[in-house]
Amino acid sequence: MPHLTPSGRLSLPSPSRRTLLRGIGGAAVLGAGVPLLSACGSSGTAADPKTVTLGSNASDAVPKKAFAEIYAAFTKQSGIAVDVNTKDHNTFQEQINSYLQGTPDDVFNWFAGYRMQFFAAKKLASPIDDVWQKIGGDFPDAMKQLSKGEDGKYYFVPLYTYPWALFYRKSVFRQHGYQVPTTWDQLVALCKQMKKDGLVPIAFGDKDAWPAMGTFDQINFRLNGYDFHKSLMAGKEAWTDPKVKAVFDHWAELLPYHQDGFMGRTWQNAAQTLVSKKAGMYLLGSFVAQQFANKADADDLDFFAFPEIDSAFGQDTVEAPTDGFMVSRSPKNHDGVVKLLEFLGTPAAEQIYLKADSSVVAASSKADTSSYTALQKKAYTMISEAKSLTQFMDRDSRPDFTSTVMQPGLQKFLQNPKGVDGLLASIERQKKTIFASA
């Protein structure tokens, strides 16, 4: 019994250490918990037929402004307001799980491919076949495939896409008289020549751990073809297969021509080496153009598809991640959502976006390409002529596998290209347990 005065006032000389600690602990947990909980909820407005809520991951200035312009145009046309709830891009991705299970906004930004299918299969998204009846004619077949869940229903409206390729500066190639390589041997020879000429042949930065996945994808589908790549990503092939080993052997052949110190460099910093003409080439998505602030430099930027390795597959596959919109499981304003998505699927909406962000191209085949920059035109042609489109390793496969196994695994390979056999055996073991848990 603690010391109590008859009036009931506590007259403890001092709180015991344990109660104090407990109080502090509780307060700390509470303090950490509150923002987390509030971050899960949406703007929380009640169902209003004149408003559609939209969860946005477009936190960077350029896309944020571009999206705002699209929504303004929609409001003007339909009289329905779009209440945008923008979150930091990475935070959005980290919280997507609890966000979609809580009280999500009616519509949200997301990615095509496996990552869309995952939430569709978990019933955290609504099918939108009604929207596609209207907009279906505007999209090429490859985009239609990308927008369907595993159950064959549509869940996604694509807005824009962008290719991965080898980027270079025309003036550098002109100055040294380089030719665009179309075969693996030509690529290796070009790297050798660039090194001789004092250039970094291939700019590279893998601090964020995902850029390396792009290189793996390119070599794999050039060497083993689209079908094998897809099936490997789906966990149906063994990573210990000699075909996979061959990918790493090819990669190891190119590694000496990659920029030194890539593990500590972000893609943005690596892109600066291309901007400053110290690097000859850079394998990345076309968003690399965002780093070319100066217009003269931007006009000098060009790209070519990753060279052919096996003539059976040529250059028929293009890696073209696609971003767009999905509908949460029970939108408050269903009619408004349908109208908004139909609008987002129109070529007009895409053009508003592309005017503000010229590093990507429209997903629609009806979008007007006349205002495209030379780079956009080339990207558009490359994507529309591709026989198969891939998304990206972490969009074509289980994200838990790619982030916890492949990202550290590829970094390990980059540090020690000789230990491939042990590494692949380890990846295969981990893959089996992760894919078995589906």
Partner 1 sequence: MTTDTSPKSPEAAAVPPPPPAPAGGRTPRGPRRLLTRRDRITLAFMAGVPTILHVALVWLTALASIALAFTNWDGIGFDSIKWVGLDNFRQLFTDNPQFWPAVQHNVVWFVVLILIPTPFGLFLAVQLDKRIRFSRVYQTAFFLPVVMSLAVTGFVWQLVYNPDTGLINSVIGANTPGHYIDWIGDPDLNLWAVLVAASWRHAGYMMILYLAGLKGVDPSLREASALDGANEWQTFKNVVFPTLRPTNTVVLVVTIIEALRAFDLVFVFNKGAQGTELLSILITNNIIGESSRIGYGSAIAVVLLVISLAVIIPYLIATFRKERRA
CB of 401 to partner 1, least distance (A): 9
CA-based nearest residue to 326, from 210, 163, 153: 153
Nearer to partner 1, 183 or 433 (CB): 433
Question: What is each CA distance from 58 to 128, 321, 395, in whole angstroms?
Answer: 22, 16, 18
Site for partner 1 in 118-157 (CB under 8 A): 118, 122, 124
H-helix segments, 41-166: 61-78, 89-101, 114-121, 129-135, 141-146
What is the separation, in whole angstroms, between the first and last Cα of the chain? 54
CB-based contacts of 182, cutoff 8 Å, min separation 6: 304, 307, 308, 315
H-helix segments, 282-372: 295-300, 334-344, 347-356
Nearer to partner 1, 79 or 261 (CB): 261
Q: Single out the residue of 7, 14, 179, 311 in contact with partner 1 (rule: CB under 8 A).
A: 7
Per rule CB under 8 A, is residue 242 in the interface with partner 1?
no
Give the tokens for residue 258: 């990659």
CB of 433 to partner 1, least distance (A): 6
Going by DSSP bridges, is the β-strand pair 164-169/81-86 parallel, antiparallel, or unpaired? unpaired
Nearer to partner 1, 3 or 76 (CB): 3
Torsion of CA 179, 180, 185, 187, to 10 degrees: 110
Amino acid at 93: Q
Nearer to partner 1, 1 or 46 (CB): 1
Q: Single out the residue of 38, 311, 370, 415 in contact with partner 1 (rule: CB under 8 A).
A: 415
Per rule CB under 8 A, is residue 2 in the interface with partner 1?
yes
Q: Single out the residue of 45, 77, 98, 371 in contact with partner 1 (rule: CB under 8 A).
A: 98
Site for partner 1 in 265-294 (CB under 8 A): 265, 269, 272-273
SS3 content of the chain, % helix, strand, coil (to 5): 55, 15, 30
Question: Pattern of binders to partner 1 over 385-404, x per CB under 8 A?
Answer: -------------xxx--xx
The neighbour count for residue 164, using CB atoms within 10 Å, is 25
Please identify, among the stretches 25-33, 160-168, 334-342, 361-369, the one whose residues bind partner 1 according to the rule CB under 8 A. 25-33
In this structure, are residues 274 and 169 in contact, taking their beta carbons and an 8 Å threshold?
A: yes
Site for partner 1 in 247-266 (CB under 8 A): 259-265
Per rule CB under 8 A, is residue 377 in the interface with partner 1?
no
Binding footprint of partner 1 on the chain (CB under 8 A): 1-9, 11, 22-23, 25-26, 29-30, 33, 93-94, 96-98, 101, 115, 118, 122, 124, 200, 206-209, 259-265, 269, 272-273, 398-400, 403-404, 408-409, 411-412, 415, 423, 426, 429-430, 433-434, 437
